[in-house]
Chains A and B, each alone.
Chain A
Amino acid sequence: DTGVSQNPRHKITKRGQNVTFRCDPISEHNRLYWYRQTLGQGPEFLTYFQNEAQLEKSRLLSDRFSAERPKGSFSTLEIQRTEQGDSAMYLCAGRGLDTDTQYFGPGTRLTVL
């Protein structure tokens, strides 16, 4: 158990709806990362935070995606106007100050119908 939790674990939604996912890292994780993984592929970087500051966003993160980490603790990832191509596993990872290693939460599997 990495101590990183994600909710919900599964989400089924209809195309066009908005969805929000939450990630709770452990307190030592000052860095928090979001990745997306589709079937048969490795995780792809979306964005990361150092404390509450969002420091990098991938080109994969279209305008429909937004992420926040308001107090440097939990983070949310929102997808507006979902499309079928958004169906994937959304993974959150935490990383501490004195390590290069990222520890993943269990992920949120999104299915867009």
Chain B
Amino acid sequence: QKEVEQNSGPLSVPEGAIASLNCTYSDRGSQSFFWYRQYSGKSPELIMFIYSNGDKEDGRFTAQLNKASQYVSLLIRDSQPSDSATYLCAVNFGNEKLTFGTGTRLTIIP
């Protein structure tokens, strides 16, 4: 069974620091990887996607992918209180649908 694993947290990070969120997945043949942010009671909002090994940067966000280690991470620089949310890692295992982890709850401490 194809699985996505995340530490559920909570992860507490001081305002202005770097938040590091991690995700592992079960299938080396996986094709695409996504990070969604979800505020309480709201639907998932796409933050970043990454397809190739290495880093991808978008503003304060950097996604890192290591297919050999089956590991994808999200770094949030200069963390803001508005970044407090649950971050969902999702993987397309090549079968159309997304498989999600349980999410990591991030709290930014002012």
Interface residues of A (CB under 8 A from B): 31, 33, 35, 40-45, 48, 55-56, 89, 91, 100-107, 109
Number of contacts between A and B (CB, 8 Å)?
Answer: 55
Residues of B within 8 A of A (CB-CB), count: 26
In the complex, whether B80 has a CB less than 8 A from a CB of chain A is no
Q: Looking across the interface, which residue of chain B has its beta carbon closest to that of A50?
A: B96
Report the Cα distance A45→B109, complex, angstroms: 34
Given A100-B31, A100-B32, A101-B34, answer yes or no on A44-B100 (Cβ-Cβ < 8 Å).
yes
Complex Cα distance A104/B31, Å? 20
- Asked if B60 is an interface residue, CB under 8 A from chain A, the answer is no
The chain B residues found within 8 Å of chain A, CB to CB, are 4, 8, 31-32, 34, 36, 41-46, 49, 51, 88, 90, 92, 95-103
In the complex, are the beta carbons of A42 and B90 less than 8 A apart? yes
Nearest Cβ in chain B — how far from A60, in angstroms?
11
Q: Which residues of A sit under 8 angstroms from B44, Cβ to Cβ?
A: 43, 91, 104
A48 CA / B95 CA spacing, docked (Å): 11
